[in-house]
Structure 1
């Protein structure tokens, strides 16, 4: 057992005995190690490394909830890495096999849509006015003002998923209206 393993095992033994300072120190030491391992594994799998912190937090919570299952005298590392591995698998399963690519990465490559003749600002406003308020506000923020999904979510106190749904519904509604008008 190496020095780090010995130290972690001693800290966990202290934590299990009720030493809150030992438990806090253990968590402070294992969190960066977990972060590094999870980031490397996500990168190796081609998954977004931005999801690392969620997995680390889930792992730390599991360590807290399952700390009684660790066998004193065993090295802590293998027990910890198993929990982290399982949390990463759970996270990736929930996420599914989708690959997320930011549109901003391709903005210069994508052809700009041709402007429809007659889509003056007043006409756009007329169509926007027909949308429900939340959809109108989201569409205006993202498509007109150029705010990101995250910025819009923060400003409107919505989740990013809710902003995407509202934006999609607004575009679908406007598209249907424009088809009917044209």
Structure 2
């Protein structure tokens, strides 16, 4: 699994769009399981797992050029996912502690883990500006400003489901437009 992800990401960085789509498709269920485990262990409903998954996939997309192809991909992914889970917990007003007991399966290569460089806000803004109005508003609110799906829905007069759908479509559009 982890070696396959690494191989797919290397191909994606070399311009293979099919490999990138395959990687994102393979990552989503693993990230979903990871997010559910983290949220449940923190005493939260696993309903926010999709927020963690979408925010992680967007961060991976925006920061993919910062990953070092000479290193395993999984530790980099799990570090980003863990940070996004903490962000979701923080936004809910609860103390953001992420238990690590039982996560060895997800963090097999933890010793190679490194914090990726941050994407400049100007670059992120330029990418997001390529989206249509509603999708741009959703991505800016959820991914760039850190608003929850619920807060975003209330601000934009959308249901939480509509916000999630718009976010998902926007991420797919960004992936397609920017090397995915």
Q: What TM-score do you get using the length of structure 2 for normalisation? A: 0.53
Partner of 2:66: 69
Is the contact made by 1:9 and 1:73 (CA closer than 8 Å) also made in structure 2?
no
Partner of 2:37: 40
Partner of 1:78: 75
Which of 13, 19, 25 is the matching residue for 1:22?
19
Please tell me whether residue 97 in structure 1 is matched to residue 94 in structure 2: yes
5+ residue gaps in structure 2? 96-149, 161-180
5+ residue gaps in structure 1? 99-149, 162-182
Partner of 2:101: none
Aligned residues: 103
Deviation at 1:159, TM superposition (A): 4.9
Supply the distance in 1 between the matched residues of 2:59 and 2:93 (Cα, whole angstroms): 22
Q: CA RMSD in A?
A: 2.5
Supply the distance in 2 between the matched residues of 1:76 and 1:16 (Cα, whole angstroms): 12
**Structure 2 residue matching 1:90: 3-state secondary structure:** helix
Over 2 Å off, 4+ runs? 157-161
Supply the distance in 1 between the matched residues of 2:42 and 2:20 (Cα, whole angstroms): 32
Supply the distance in 1 between the matched residues of 2:19 and 2:57 (Cα, whole angstroms): 15
Larger proportion of helix: 1
Deviation at 1:158, TM superposition (A): 4.0
Deviation at 1:160, TM superposition (A): 6.5
